[in-house]
Structure 1
Amino acid sequence: MTEQSEWRFSDDRGQLSTAPRRPGRVLAYVQAGATLWGLGIRPQAVFGSDHDGPEPDRAKTGTLPLDEVAYVGAGAALDVERLLDGRPDLVVAVSYGGGHVYGLAPETAKPLEERVPVVVIDVSQARTFGEIGDRFAELARSLGAEDRADADADLDAARDRLRTLTATGPAGARRVVALSPAGPDQAHVARPGMWPELRVLTELGVQLVEPAPGPGANWSTLGRAETFALRPDVILTDIRAHAAPLDELRGDGDGSAPVVPWNPEPLYGPRDHARFLGLVADALEAPRTR
């Protein structure tokens, strides 16, 4: 495709976005923007969701250069004029199903789409991590990114390391609990099958603990004692700004298990994913303390 040819991309709603030339001023939901950055595309600006505040959540921004990429706000602070202030020629958003634009109210998303192309990538539990990553990579290539064989090699190596660890040593028997602390008395414990990134760990042999059936599709909300009754050998803890610190939940008596920082809104580039898998492998290799 030449610089002057028409740009076209069909998103996960089946909607075709077009522009006279390849977009260069991309406004993206922070997860999408950080993923694109890892794939070689620098967004002009990013926005957050209702969980976010007036400053970007560093747990979600990955390696985005925040001194170069503007953060335009989140939630109720966003309206069409604020989103269009930097004159973006493309908006990249995510959806958790049904084509709904996550992070933007319908009364904002609809008029926004009437004024600028909007591409929506489905990151719901119905898709595999690899499928989501492939869609982001396809979008990045359409925006001018080049394939990075070294990044794919890093991911292959990280996957091989984790698979070997869980297949041949005691690491495979270690119980891993993924959770989002809700304060000193409660935690939201992830149901692993509902999270594409956690399903990858299961496929690689990691023993992710499944909380008992009950209310909550994605999370099981448990008291502190119930949470640690799951006997975690490794804890993946939500590090987003709206989650409580893990130390509040653990107190003085449950601080022995290695901890892996976990962003439940993961970045889908191969280097970002390899980094996370490496942290999990490091934790599984750590000496047992109980």
Structure 2
Amino acid sequence: MTEQSEWRFSDDRGQLSTAPRRPGRVLAYVQAGATLWGLGIRPQGIFGSDHDGPDPDRAKTGTLPLDEVAYVGAGSGLDVERLLAGRPDLVVTVSYGGGHVYGLAPETAKPLEERVPVVVIDVSQARTFTEIGERFAELARSLGAEGRADADADLDAARERLRAVAAAAGGADGPRVVAFSPAGPDQAHVARPRMWPELRVLTELGVRLVEPAPGPGANWSTLGRAETFALRPEVILTDIRAHAAPLDELRGEEHGTVPVVPWNPEPLYGPRDHARFLGLVADALEAARAR
């Protein structure tokens, strides 16, 4: 495709976006923007969701150069004119199913799409982590990114290392890994691993992820402090997003030596970002085994 030819991309709603030429001023939901950056595309700007505040959540931004990428706000603070103030020629966001444009109210998303192409990538639990990553990679290539064989090699190596570490640690009888989002000193939202594409990758590689008991909550089981630690975590994956409570408020001194992996439940889908996370999990399993 030459620089002057028409740009076309069909998103995960089946909606075809077109432009007279390849877009170069991309505004993206923070997760999408940080993922694209890891794939070789620098967004012009990013925006957050209702969970976010007036400043970008550093847990979600990965290695984005925030001194070069504008943050235009989040949630109810966003309207069409604010989103278009930097004159983007493409908006990229995500969906958790049903084609809903995450991070933007319907009364904002609809008129936005009437003025600029909007691409939506489905990151719901119905898809695998690999499938989501491939869709972001396709979009990045359409925007001019080149393939990065070294990044893919790093990811392959990280996967094989975690598989080997998990097996050496006992596989299905290895350290009990619990993923949760602290909600204060007395409560946590414990992840149901099968509902999270990134956590399913860990299970596939042999990590022993603990499933909370059936009950209310599709993605999370909200438990009291005693119930959370009754799951006997030997490795903790803790939500590090800004709206999550600090882990130390919840665990106290008696659980203070359990290895901890910082976990962003809105993961970045580039191979380097994923490899980094897998490496942290492998490190934690080794630490748990050595205790």
- Could you say which TM-score interval applies, normalised by the shorter chain? over 0.9
TM-score (norm 2): 0.98
Amino acid in the other structure paired with 2:145 = A
In the TM superposition, residue 221 of structure 1 has moved relative to its aligned partner by 0.4
- What does the per-residue CA deviation read over 1:73-98, in whole Å, with 9 as the maximum and x for residues that have no partner? 00010000000000000000100000
Q: Distance in 1 between matches of 2:158 and 2:288?
A: 20
Q: Residue 222 of structure 2 corresponds to which residue in structure 1?
A: 221
Cα–Cα, structure 1 residues 255 and 160, in superposed 2: closer, same or farther, change >3 Å?
A: same
In the TM superposition, residue 288 of structure 1 has moved relative to its aligned partner by 4.8
In the TM superposition, residue 170 of structure 1 has moved relative to its aligned partner by 3.8
Is 1:11 aligned with 2:11? yes
Q: Distance in 1 between matches of 2:282 and 2:63?
A: 21
In the TM superposition, residue 48 of structure 1 has moved relative to its aligned partner by 0.1
> Is 2:35–2:270's contact at 8 Å kept on the other side of the alignment?
yes
- Unmatched runs of 5 consecutive residues or more in structure 1: none
> Is 1:171–1:284's contact at 8 Å kept on the other side of the alignment?
no
Q: Residue 287 of structure 2 corresponds to which residue in structure 1?
A: 286
- What does the per-residue CA deviation read over 1:49-81, in whole Å, with 9 as the maximum and x for residues that have no partner? 000000000000000000000000000100000
Q: Distance in 1 between matches of 2:48 and 2:75?
A: 7
Cα–Cα, structure 1 residues 86 and 244, in superposed 2: closer, same or farther, change >3 Å?
A: same
Amino acid in the other structure paired with 1:13 = R
> Is 2:175–2:289's contact at 8 Å kept on the other side of the alignment?
no
Q: Distance in 2 between matches of 1:169 and 1:176?
A: 12
- Look up the SS of the partner of 1:266 in the other structure: coil
> Is 1:177–1:209's contact at 8 Å kept on the other side of the alignment?
yes
In the TM superposition, residue 171 of structure 1 has moved relative to its aligned partner by 6.6
> Is 1:256–1:289's contact at 8 Å kept on the other side of the alignment?
no
- Unmatched runs of 5 consecutive residues or more in structure 2: none
Query: What is the root-mean-square deviation in Å for CA atoms of aligned residues?
Result: 1.0
> Is 2:47–2:73's contact at 8 Å kept on the other side of the alignment?
yes
* Mapping 1:1-290, distance limit 5 Å: 1-170=1-170, 173-288=174-289
> Is 1:234–1:260's contact at 8 Å kept on the other side of the alignment?
yes
Cα–Cα, structure 1 residues 226 and 184, in superposed 2: closer, same or farther, change >3 Å?
A: same
TM-score (norm 1): 0.98
Amino acid in the other structure paired with 1:223 = G
Count of aligned pairs between the two proteins: 290
> Is 1:171–1:285's contact at 8 Å kept on the other side of the alignment?
no
> Is 1:90–1:118's contact at 8 Å kept on the other side of the alignment?
yes
- Look up the SS of the partner of 2:255 in the other structure: coil
Q: Distance in 1 between matches of 2:79 and 2:169?
A: 53
Q: Percent of aligned pairs with the same residue?
A: 89
In the TM superposition, residue 254 of structure 1 has moved relative to its aligned partner by 1.4
Q: Distance in 1 between matches of 2:121 and 2:269?
A: 11
> Is 2:210–2:231's contact at 8 Å kept on the other side of the alignment?
yes
Q: Distance in 2 between matches of 1:94 and 1:4?
A: 28
Q: Distance in 2 between matches of 1:18 and 1:156?
A: 34
Q: Distance in 1 between matches of 2:290 and 2:165?
A: 19
- What does the per-residue CA deviation read over 1:99-118, in whole Å, with 9 as the maximum and x for residues that have no partner? 00000000000000000000
